[in-house]
Amino acid sequence: MQGFEMEPSSGGEAIRFLVHQNIIQFRITSHNMHAFIKLLFLLSSWSALLLCL
């Protein structure tokens, strides 16, 4: 979180900073969603295998 204590030199800097933060947040959440979907898929396939046995 560096750059928070510094005053942005202009409005454009602050906007760029906010956009950068949002992009990082979006990447993190999309990565988590991919992992979550993968986990759900694994769980469902395992339960299907157990039901077949």
Q: How far apart are CA 31 and CA 19, in angstroms?
A: 18
Residue 9 half-sphere exposure, CB side, CA atoms within 13 Å?
Answer: 0
Q: Tell me what pLDDT residue 2 has.
A: 53
Q: Tell me what pLDDT residue 11 has.
A: 77
Q: Tell me what pLDDT residue 9 has.
A: 64
Is residue 30 within 8 A of residue 21, CB to CB? The reply is no
Given a cut of 90, whether residue 51 has pLDDT beyond it is no
Is residue 14 within 8 A of residue 8, CB to CB? The reply is yes
Query: pLDDT per residue over 10-49, tens digit each?
Result: 778 888 888 888 888 888 888 888 999 999 999 999 888 8
pLDDT-based confidence at residue 7 (cuts at 50, 70, 90): low
